[in-house]
Amino acid sequence: MLIEVRNLRIAFRFGNRVSVPVRDVSFDVPENSRVAIVGESGCGKSLTALSLGGLVDRADISGEIDGHARISYVFQNPMQSLNPTMRAGVQIAEANRRGKADVPALLESVGLPRDCERKYPCEMSGGQQQRVMIAMALAAEPDLLVADEPTTALDVTTQAQVLKLMKGLLAANSGLLLITHDLGVVANMATKLAVMKDGRVVETADDVAGFFRAPVHPYSRALVREAKRMELAA
């Protein structure tokens, strides 16, 4: 098992007021799996993902996060994550703690020409920037890749390309934790899923196809109905 999360609770204190955006969240990410956490904006899914890598500041965090997986993140807006003053190749190389990243090979693995090594982020398209982010994540040699809404800022064609790329690049025994509100992405990418609402996991499924046929929780059923309605409207 790469990561086991049990009864995760994340709380923030503002004077005498306490906000608890994540509570009693439990899920697993096994080796060689693609797990999706799905839910509407503000449900706590991104906070949950960030907590796995210790990236939530000034919060009271309780519960158990077990596992020794090396974790890399791919965030939804690469322009906010990449350093605009550094060339892409330098940023990819710095992601490898041992300083032995094969930058040209990594660029090639994510479908970028080698001359992108010398480009600044502003000289690349949004899809190219996201591919650089994926190359940086891979340079860290992770056991678990956490992708937080990685295609939200991209056009539909590029979205499909980036998702297919991430799916194909997962190494043996590694895992993917995908944070998304898009059930279409879940259907194409996930082997397991957890549905979150108001900071809680309301349903989990080891059979993604079965989930879409017969979701159990009322909120899950509403999500699936809306996804099907939008698919028909398209």
Domain contains 53: yes
Domain contains 28: yes
Output 41 or 152, whichever has higher pLDDT: 41
Of 92, 125, 141, the one marking the end of a domain is: 141
Query: Are 62 and 149 contained in the same domain?
Result: yes
CATH number (domain holding residue 58): 3.40.50.300
pLDDT at 99 over 70: no
113, 123 Cβ separation under 8 angstroms: no
Query: Are 218 and 170 contained in the same domain?
Result: yes
What is the count of structural domains for the chain?
Answer: 2
SS3 content of the chain, % helix, strand, coil (to 5): 40, 25, 35
pLDDT at 233 over 70: no
Tokens representing residue 189 in the block? 């990418």
Nearest to residue 74, comparing CAs of 104, 89, 95? Answer: 95
Give the length of the chain: 234
Of 106, 126, 141, the one marking the end of a domain is: 141
Residues 6+ apart with CB under 8 A from 229: none
Residues 6+ apart with CB under 8 A from 89: 103, 107, 116, 117, 118
Query: Are 134 and 195 contained in the same domain?
Result: no
pLDDT in tens, 116-157: 999 999 999 988 999 999 999 988 889 999 999 988 777 888
Query: Are 152 and 213 contained in the same domain?
Result: yes
Query: Are 59 and 172 contained in the same domain?
Result: yes
Domain extent for 175: 3-70+142-233
pLDDT in tens, 31-40: 999 999 999 9
80, 65 Cβ separation under 8 angstroms: no
Query: Are 26 and 98 contained in the same domain?
Result: no
